[in-house]
């Protein structure tokens, strides 16, 4: 299966079909996962515009690609994010990526992450209190409430900005994040928008420029203010105080970058801004959609929800105290539910690598210059590794049931050298938010899984609102 053997005529036909049959996010999702992933062996090939793609949806193929340090560069599709994120950890490659990854890894040490639990608890409590008036059994869309909660969390943990977006959701910064997500998705899924003058002619460039001005200005102002505060302490103009610098544990990510720039690294404010914006982008919407799907699935499976309630009651009893790190470690079945939700609905259902060397998968040669795309949504539903793959069965992830599974059969946070640096952060956050919610409420989901329509808007979202009913457990 060598790409160079495809005839020019066949290549042109594929180009035209793909380029002009992906006008919407919904069609984009259905085209990739229903039409192009129907071949045995977990491997297929397509062209989008003039660019060749190899689609990988087997554990064996994912392992060959992701475990090899030769294949660390992202695909050209990620260039659509660069106006916003620059060449930070998500979009960079080569020595810059290796250097940044090594520099940022200490910020995600489990001891530092446990210090964020206080923020998780505070924001989760606000999330629950905002839902109290909804606990009347009437259907409503819960996803906007979840999104604001995760955005609130990431603003404080990444930037130290406690601006309470759950109380003031219509901030320009919040709206600009949502708009940039839409613009990036449009440009990635519509080949004609990757042509600069077309992107500008159709008004996308103007919308992007407006968003970037707001997003970048906010991040740079936070960084400059943080530097000013540190300088004031250093010059002994004021006494050291947690209220001045902010508790270090809440600002480990930004502090690490600033300290590196002051001590041994040549990081400008713009370099720091790239990484802060990257963490903001990767750390709120992906977590929000994972929380959304977990609550949806628990609402469809009351027996699993009852088991979570029993687990939480054993941990907390009738207490309303905040969760501690030791409590979180006891939430073993809740963690299984989160993992099973990420299996069925991975927050990032596709991710890619640009090949600079030939890739050989099961005897098939994928030539350099191809974009290799791992389709986690399809990979996670392989019946070889997950019997009854469309069923919600959290018990799959109990230790005794997953110990022999191929580690590349389940990769919601990618895998190998370039896996997600924030996956432990995300799991801690989700366990706190969900446990806070489920200690207070019982949830029922309205829509059947078979009726769900999915869209790919950077992350895996439902086409329609996530309509649920919630009831007070007391």
| Residues of the binding site for heme | 420
Phi/psi for 317 (5° steps) reads 60, -135
Find out whether 269 and 82 touch, Cβ atoms under 8 Å: no
DSSP sequence for 3-26: GGGS-HHHHHHHHHHHHTS--SHH
Chain centroid to CA 308: how far?
A: 24
Q: Which residues carry a binding-site annotation?
A: 420
3-state secondary structure of 241: coil
The DSSP output letter for 235 is T
Please give the structure tokens belonging to residue 30.
């259905």
Sheet with 140-141, side-by-side order of all strands: 140-141, 467-472, 441-445
Distance CA 288, CA 454 (A): 16
Distance CA 369, CA 351 (A): 16
Find out whether 377 and 348 touch, Cβ atoms under 8 Å: no
Distance CA 335, CA 431 (A): 7
Distance CA 55, CA 373 (A): 5
Query: Which residue from 161, 176, 186, 159 is spatially nearest to 212, judged by alpha carbons?
Result: 176
Q: What pairing do the DSSP bridges indicate for beta strands 51-56 and 454-457? A: unpaired
Find out whether 441 and 473 touch, Cβ atoms under 8 Å: yes
Find out whether 415 and 56 touch, Cβ atoms under 8 Å: no
Find out whether 217 and 176 touch, Cβ atoms under 8 Å: no
The dihedral built from the CA positions of residue 121, 124, 130 and 136, taken in this order, carries a sign that is: negative
Chain centroid to CA 50: how far?
A: 28
Residues in CB range of 316: below 8 A, 6 or more apart: 323, 327, 439
Distance CA 225, CA 234 (A): 14
């Amino acid at each position: 299966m060598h790409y160079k053997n495809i005839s020019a005529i066949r290549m042109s036909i594929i180009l035209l079909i793909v380029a002009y049959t992906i006008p919407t996010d919904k069609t984009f999702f259905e085209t990739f996962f229903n039409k192009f992933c129907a071949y045995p062996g977990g491997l297929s090939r397509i062209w989008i515009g003039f660019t060749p793609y190899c689609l990988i949806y087997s554990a064996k193929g994912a392992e060959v690609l992701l475990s090899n340090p030769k294949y660390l560069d992202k695909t050209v599709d990620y260039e659509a994010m660069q106006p916003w994120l620059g060449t930070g950890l998500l979009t960079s490659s080569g020595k810059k990526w290796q250097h940044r990854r090594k520099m940022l890894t200490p910020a995600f040490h489990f001891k530092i992450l446990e210090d964020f639990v206080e923020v998780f608890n505070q924001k989760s409590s606000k999330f629950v209190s905002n839902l109290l008036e909804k606990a009347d059994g009437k259907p409503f869309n819960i996803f906007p409430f979840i999104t604001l909660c995760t955005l609130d969390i990431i603003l404080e943990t990444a930037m130290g900005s406690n601006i309470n977006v759950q109380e003031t959701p219509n901030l320009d910064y919040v709206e600009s994040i949502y708009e940039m997500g839409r613009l990036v998705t449009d440009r990635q899924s519509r080949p004609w928008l990757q042509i600069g003058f077309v992107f500008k002619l159709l008004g996308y460039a103007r919308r992007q420029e407006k968003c970037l001005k707001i997003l970048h200005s906010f991040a740079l102002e936070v960084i400059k203010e943080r530097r000013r505060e540190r300088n004031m302490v250093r010059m002994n103009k004021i006494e050291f105080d947690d209220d001045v610098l902010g508790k270090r544990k809440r600002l480990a990510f930004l502090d690490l970058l600033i300290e590196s720039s002051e001590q041994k690294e040549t990081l400008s404010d713009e370099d720091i801004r790239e990484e802060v914006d990257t963490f903001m982008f990767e750390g709120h919407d992906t977590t929000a959609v994972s929380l959304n799907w977990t609550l949806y699935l628990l609402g469809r499976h009351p027996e699993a929800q009852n088991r979570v309630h029993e687990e939480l009651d054993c941990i907390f009893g009738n207490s309303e105290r905040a969760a501690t790190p030791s409590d979180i470690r006891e939430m073993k079945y809740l963690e299984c539910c989160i993992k099973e939700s990420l299996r069925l609905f991975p927050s990032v259902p596709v991710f890619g690598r640009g090949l600079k060397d030939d890739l050989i998968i099961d005897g098939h040669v994928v030539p350099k210059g191809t974009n290799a795309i791992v389709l986690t949504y399809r990979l996670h539903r392989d019946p070889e590794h997950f019997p009854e793959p469309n069923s919600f069965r959290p018990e799959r992830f109990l230790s005794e049931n997953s110990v022999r599974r191929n580690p590349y059969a389940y990769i919601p946070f990618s895998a190998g050298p370039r896996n997600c640096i924030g996956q432990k952060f995300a799991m801690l956050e989700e366990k706190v938010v969900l446990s806070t919610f489920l200690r207070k409420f019982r949830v029922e989901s309205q829509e059947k899984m078979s009726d769900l329509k999915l869209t790919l808007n950077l992350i895996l979202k439902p086409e329609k609102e996530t309509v649920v009913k919630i009831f007070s457990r007391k």
